[in-house]
Each structure stands twice: as C-alpha cells, then as structure tokens.
Structure 1
Amino acid sequence: MTTGQWLANPDGTRWFFDSGALSLDFGLGGVDVREQFASPADLVEWLAERFERVEKKASTGELRDAVLLREAIASAARAVALGGAPTRDDVDTINLFAAMPDVPPALAGGRRRAGAGRVRAAQALASVARDAVRVFTTHGRLDDAGEASARRRIRECEADDCGYVFLDESRADNRRWCSMQRCGNRAKVRAHRARALG
C-alpha cells in the first residue's frame, strides 16, 4: 500500500509527508490531530485515497471512532519516538480497533472474491489499527511488557520546530527529517548560511 500525503503549511504552500507506514500517516506523524477530519466527508476522502471500494459516506459515529484511533496512534507514535512507551489507554484503543473485522485481502484473477463489496469505514479503521500493531511491534521494538527498546526505527524529525514522527526505513538507518522538501531543506539552508557567515 502506498503511503504519504500532501499537507499544507500555514502560508498555504504544500509539502509531501511520507511517514513510511499507513498507521503513522493516519496518526499524521504524531502531531496534534484534533483539527483533522472536521467532517465525515474528510474521513471518507482520506480512506478513499488508500482503500479501494470504500463507501462514499461515513457516519458521525465512524468519524468519532476515527478521531479516537487517530489520537491514540499519534500519541503512541510520539511516545515511542521519544524513547518511551505508549500509554495503556492508547494501547487498549489501538487493540480494540485492531480486533474488529478489517478489509479482507483478495488475490486478483479468480471468478469469486470474498469481500468484493463496498468497504465500510469501520473496516478501514481496523486495517489501520492492525498496521499500527505491526509497526509498533516490529519497528517500535516494544517488548512483551510494552516497553520500547533502544533499537527502534520510529523517530521524530530532528528540526526543532517540527515534531512529525516517521518510520525510518533507510538502509543506513539514518533518516533525520520528516521531509527533505520541508525540514531537510530548511536545515541545509541554515547550515549554508552559517558557513557563509562563519
């Protein structure tokens, strides 16, 4: 599944943020997510970009569920990126959604496909939660007690004024920025200026 999304800066310019994982994209990289998904239509638009056959309508209850899951993923991602562990409430919320029926995978080319009908928002949220379980277990290096180990790949952008969280899947294990287009470029400009003045 493709990850990443276009985000807007306060000045109206846009930049591409790819957290490296569906669930971290959904949690918007650990930043304050309460103002995202202002309406059920916003939720449907986000899901439709990532899931085929998603229903064109979502209920206000599904919107509330999405915001709850999004806040739990964002909070958990931030905690792990900072070397800690998610709260029990965040873990319980993610696990609750992950236990629901998700979008069934289907192999193309057959005459019949189970789950070939419309995908409900609740199913898509379950798939997002299952991805979060996978990401935090595999890349957050949470042990059986839910504690984060020193060897984790969920990181926070190194820019002082950022805070986005991402999954570092670079070969050298050295991704530093949420986006080279945004924070990486600003860091290069600052370093160039410092060298020129120095």
Structure 2
Amino acid sequence: MRARTTGRVLHDPKGGSFRFDAGAVCLDFAHTGGEGRYAVFETLREPADLGEWLAEPPLAAVLTDPVTPRELAAAKTLRQAIWDAAHDRAARRPVRAEAVATINRAAAAPPLVLELADAGTTAAWATPVRATQALSTLAREMIELLTGPLSERIRECASDNCPLVFVDSSRPGARRWCAMERCGNRHKLRTHRARHSTNP
C-alpha cells in the first residue's frame, strides 16, 4: 500500500455518519456494503462507484480503464470473502473454504505495481491501472493480515449489535469498539445510566 492511513466515513441509512478505521485497506473495503440484511449499506451500486472508491487514499488507484460490470461483481464477491474471513478469524474458527478460494483467486491476478516518479522522491502506480490489479492488491493484503502477526488482533466490535470488524494495530492491543464516538460512547452511556438507576 502507498500510505498507512486507513479508515473511511460510513453512513447509516437511517441518518448520521461516523469515521470507522478498520486498520487495513482490505477491511475498509469489506465495509462498503454487503448482502442480505447488509444490502441497505451498499455503496458500490455501479461500476463507477468501485472506481471512485479505489481512487481514494490510501490506495489512490486511479484506474486507466473503466470498471466493467464483471469486475464489479468480482469485487463484491471478494468483499464478501474478506468479510467472512475476518469474522471467522475474529471468532477464532477456521476460515471457511469458499472465502479462502475466493481470496486466493483474486490474489493470483497481477497486483498494482509501484514505480518511482522522475525525481525519484515520489511513487505512483505503474500504468495501466486496472480494477483487477487493485482487487489483487486488496486480496494479497488480506492474506498477509490473516497469516501475519496481527492475525490474532482481528476483532468484531464489542457492542452486542454491531458487526463491524477491525484489526487492532495499537501498541497496547486494547481496542474494543468500531469507533469510540459510536459504540464506545453508547456503552459508556448505558453503563452510566445503569449505575445511576441502581444507586438511589
């Protein structure tokens, strides 16, 4: 990845938004929408939506070829596999075989390749920059995450009704919430109310 900064602003269909940092670009990608009950959070409705997401930092993969409907479908399949694999690891169970196969298939394609700019002080993705390369890069990052030292720090938000998953890369490894401003504050408020309701 070209930059270490991760995180995106997530929007609730009922209103409101908050910044959620999943700790890895591939996990940020896993939160762009979903299937079933998560379909209301879908942000990749059209091929162009995928191109716009990939072009944003930190990946900053400005595509030279427009995203095709087939690439969008492949992206959503990979997204689901990353989501499933992350939740499996967070629950300390084996990653389901279908997710493993999907991630490996995406990773097998050529990834994005960095090249130095003329002055030798900055870098950019070598052209052409295609969606399949970006998806391969995301899949490879997920493989590194699942097999690396942070694999035991993949966690689901501690809130009872929040399915967001993240990798805790903080030094103390004490992160519990998707975002302190969201589930963390809600937990504090509930604890505060419970304490005052039992103490006359």
Amino acid at match of 1:7: L
Shift of 1:193: 1.2
Map of 1:4 onto structure 2:
7
1: CA distance, partners of 2:90 / 2:24? 14
Instruction: Tell me the alpha carbon deviations over residues 20-58 of structure 1, each in whole angstroms, 9 at most, x when there is no partner.
Output: 001111111997565341111111111111324323621
Q: Give 1:118 shift.
A: 4.0
Which residues in structure 2 correspond to 1:67-82 (within 5 Å)?
67-82=76-91
Distance, in Å, in 2 between the alignment partners of 1:115 and 1:4 is 21
Farther off after superposition, 45-54 or 128-137 = 45-54
Secondary structure (helix, strand or coil) at the match of 1:106 reads strand
Structure 2 partner of 1:132:
142
**Separation in 2, partners of 1:106, 1:117:** 9
SS at match of 2:176: coil
Count of residues paired in the alignment:
187
How far apart in 2 are the matches of 1:105 and 1:116?
6
For the residue of structure 2 that corresponds to 1:166, the secondary structure is: strand
Consecutive unaligned residues in structure 1, runs of 5 or more? 142-151
Amino acid paired to 1:39: E
- In the other structure, the counterpart of 2:108 is 99
- What does 1:1-198 correspond to in 2, within 5 Å? 1=3, 2-28=5-31, 32=35, 35-49=42-56, 50-55=59-64, 57-108=66-117, 109-110=119-120, 116-139=126-149, 141=151, 152-198=152-198
Note the aligned Cα RMSD (angstroms): 2.3
Contact 1:31/1:163, CA 8 A, preserved across alignment:
no
Contact 1:72–1:94 (CA<8 Å) still a contact in 2? yes
Q: Gaps (5+ residues) in structure 2? A: none
Q: Percent identity?
A: 44
**Secondary structure in structure 2 of the residue aligned to 1:190:** helix
Contact 1:139 1:167 in 2 (8 A): no
| 1:149 corresponding residue in structure 2 | none
Higher relative contact order (CA 8 A, sep 6+): 1
Query: Residues 153 and 114 (structure 1 numbering): CA distance in 2 closer, same or farther, change over 3 Å?
Result: closer
